[in-house]
Amino acid sequence: MDRWERKETTGISTSIKDSIRPAGPLKPRLDAAVRSIQLQTQKLEIANQRFNERDRMMFSKVVDAYSKHDMDHAKIYANELAEIRKMSKMLMQAKMALEQIVMRLNTVTELGDIVVTLAPAMGVIRNVRTGISTLLPEAERELGDISTTLSSILVDAGQSSGLSLNFDSANEDAMKILNEASTVAEQKVREKFPELPAGVGTTEKTGF
């Protein structure tokens, strides 16, 4: 029988486990979690499109104030624009990080792969949740549910495969994914949005 879908022996211990974690073969549960993550990436993209529209509107206000030599308002608008771009970059970073998680989870074929793949994935999701908690509370809650599901799969996979988890390696892998996503998101922000007129720009750092 396929290791992905082998059934556990019934008994008291199994009943206790099932009362704590969702029952069922690991592969369908993992596939469902992947679909849930993909749904979150779509929501992040939609949210980012709204920020892009706000960026265009605020940038127009900056340029208009600047053209009228109204530097006080130009700087106020520029600061608001910087906040919008900070949020946009954060959403892009979150989306790209989750996309990397989906790619990795889609390559999992064995129980042992789950142990080494899910741990950093959960670290990434935890950081993404923190980053978007104030922006998208609903997405933050849904990512919490996904994290709980992945945690239960990880526990079951670890028990079934007998493999232990290297937390240091998992954390390092998670930070690598997040840093790569941050670098790409920063580049995309610079390419996507026009620069502010001289004298009204900000130097605020953005990201998780």
More confident position, 88 or 111: 88
Q: pLDDT category, 12, cuts 50, 70, 90?
A: very low
> Tens digit of pLDDT for each residue in 176-202?
999 999 999 988 888 888 887 766 655
Residue with tokens 């206790």: 16
Mean pLDDT of 105-120: 81
Q: Quote the pLDDT of residue 60.
A: 93
Q: Quote the pLDDT of residue 23.
A: 46
Q: Quote the pLDDT of residue 91.
A: 93
Q: Quote the pLDDT of residue 87.
A: 92
Q: pLDDT category, 45, cuts 50, 70, 90?
A: very high
Q: Across all residues in the chain, what is the average pLDDT?
A: 81
CB 85 within 8 A of CB 53: no
Mean pLDDT of 88-98: 94
Q: Domain-by-domain residue ranges, the chain?
A: 24-192
What are the φ and ψ backbone dihedral angles of 102, each rounded to 5 degrees? -60, -45
> Tens digit of pLDDT for each residue in 125-181?
999 999 898 889 998 899 999 999 998 888 888 777 666 666 677 888 899 999 999
Mean pLDDT of 63-85: 92
Residue with tokens 């920020």: 51
Closest to 105 (Cα-Cα) out of 27, 164, 43, 179: 27
Residue with tokens 């073969």: 25
> Tell me, what DSSP letter sits at residue 19?
H
pLDDT at 4 exceeding the cut of 60? no
**Cα–Cα dist 93/174, whole Å:** 13
Q: What is the pTM of this model?
A: 0.76
Q: Quote the pLDDT of residue 90.
A: 92
| Residues sharing a CB contact under 8 Å with residue 143, sequence separation 6 or more, in sequence order | 40, 125, 128, 129, 132
Q: Quote the pLDDT of residue 97.
A: 95
Q: pLDDT category, 22, cuts 50, 70, 90?
A: very low
Q: pLDDT category, 17, cuts 50, 70, 90?
A: very low
What percentage of the chain carries pLDDT values higher than 70? 79
- Torsion from C-alpha of 185, 180, 99, 26, nearest 10 degrees: -160
The letter for the amino acid at 182 is S
